[in-house]
Amino acid sequence: MQTITDIKEMQARCLAARAAGQTVAFVPTMGYLHEGHLSLLREGRRRGDLLVLSIFVNPTQFGQGEDLGRYPRDFDRDQAMAAECNVDLIFYPDTAAVYPHGYVTYVNVEGPLTTTLKGACRPTHFRGVTTVVAKLLNIVLPHVALFGRKDFQQLAVIRRMTADLNLPVEIVGMPIVREDDGLAMSSRNQYLTAQERQRAPVLYRTLCEVAARLRNGESCFTALESGAAQTLRNSGFEPDYVAIRNALTLEVPAGTGTAPQVVLAAARLGKARLIDNMILN
C-alpha cells in the first residue's frame, strides 16, 4: 500500500493502471474511517484490480460556521484500516493542491435535487461535493466509484452529475452500515456525548416507524413527517427535516404511486448533525 499526495503522480499511476488493462475501483472519503467506509473498500477490492482510497476533508462542502475545523482526523488509524482492506493506493492531497491559488471552477447540479432537504439547510454544500467529486474522478479515472447510501441525496446528486457530464464511471451505492442499536455509522458520531449516544438510535427507530406506517397504507405524508419530527424533538433532537420523497427524483411523491419511496431525516443532537434514511418498496 502506498500513500500519494501529488495530484499529477496520482493521475499518472491511475492512467498507467488503466493502460495496462487494470480495472480501477475508487472510494472517496473524508477519512476517519468506520465500518461503513470499510464495506465500500471491501466491495471495491472485489471489483477492482487497483483499489484507490482518497482521504480529503473538502473545505468547499462546509458552510460558514459548520464543523470543518473540528472534523475528526486520524491518518495513522485510517492507514492501518485501509491496509487491512488491501487498499493499493491512498490519495491524500493537501487542500492547497486541490484548490490552488486562483481556483475558480465549480460544478453545479442545479434545481430541486440540490436545493431541497440538505440543500435548503446547507446551500453551498452540494456545489462543494460535486466539484470535489468531479475533480477526484478526473484524477483517479476509476471504472467504478463506491459511495454509501447514508447520504442518500448526495448519492442522487453524484449520479446526476456523472450522468450529465458523461463521466466514464459506474457509480455504486452501498447499504448503510449500522451500530448494533441501529445508529447509522458516521465519522460525526464522535461528536456525541455518552448520553447523546444513548439517545441517538431514536433517529433510526423513528424512520423505521414511518416506514412501517407507510407500508401499512398510511398516506398522509405531512402528518407522518411532522409526527416523526415531534418524536425527534421529544428525544432532544433538533430536526432539520423528516421527508418522504420519490427515491429517484427526491420530489414529493404524487399520491400513492408505484415509484420507490425513501424517508430521509437530518437532525442535530448536541454538536452532531446526524442523517439517516430508509428506502421502501
Binding site for its own copies (CB under 8 A): 7, 11, 15, 18-19, 21, 103-111, 113, 130, 134-135, 138-139, 141, 160-161, 164-168
Minimum CB distance to its own copies, residue 5 (Å): 14
Q: Which is nearer to its own copies, 104 or 194 (CB)?
A: 104
Q: Which is nearer to its own copies, 55 or 265 (CB)?
A: 55
Q: Which is nearer to its own copies, 87 or 109 (CB)?
A: 109
**Which residues have CB under 8 Å from 133's CB, separation 6+?**
28, 158, 161
The H or E element spanning position 4 is strand 2-4
Assess contact for 196 and 270: CB atoms under 8 A. Answer: yes
For the question of residue 37 being annotated catalytic, the response is: yes
**Which residues have CB under 8 Å from 29's CB, separation 6+?**
37, 40, 53, 54, 55, 56
Minimum CB distance to its own copies, residue 257 (Å): 18
Assess contact for 90 and 3: CB atoms under 8 A. Answer: yes
Q: Which is nearer to its own copies, 33 or 139 (CB)?
A: 139
- HSE-up of residue 259 (Cα within 13 Å, Cβ side): 15
Q: Is 91 left (phi over 0), alpha (psi -120 to 50) or beta?
A: beta
Minimum CB distance to its own copies, residue 103 (Å): 6
**Residue in 37, 101, 125, 143 annotated catalytic:** 37
Q: 239 in helix, strand or coil?
A: strand
- C-alpha–C-alpha distance, residues 43 and 273, integer Å: 27
**Which residues have CB under 8 Å from 153's CB, separation 6+?**
113, 117, 118, 119, 126, 250, 264
- C-alpha–C-alpha distance, residues 145 and 122, integer Å: 25
Assess contact for 58 and 132: CB atoms under 8 A. Answer: yes
Q: Which is nearer to its own copies, 167 or 274 (CB)?
A: 167
Minimum CB distance to its own copies, residue 125 (Å): 16
Minimum CB distance to its own copies, residue 275 (Å): 22
Q: Which is nearer to its own copies, 54 or 79 (CB)?
A: 54
- C-alpha–C-alpha distance, residues 20 and 8, integer Å: 18
Minimum CB distance to its own copies, residue 267 (Å): 28
**What positions carry a catalytic annotation?**
37
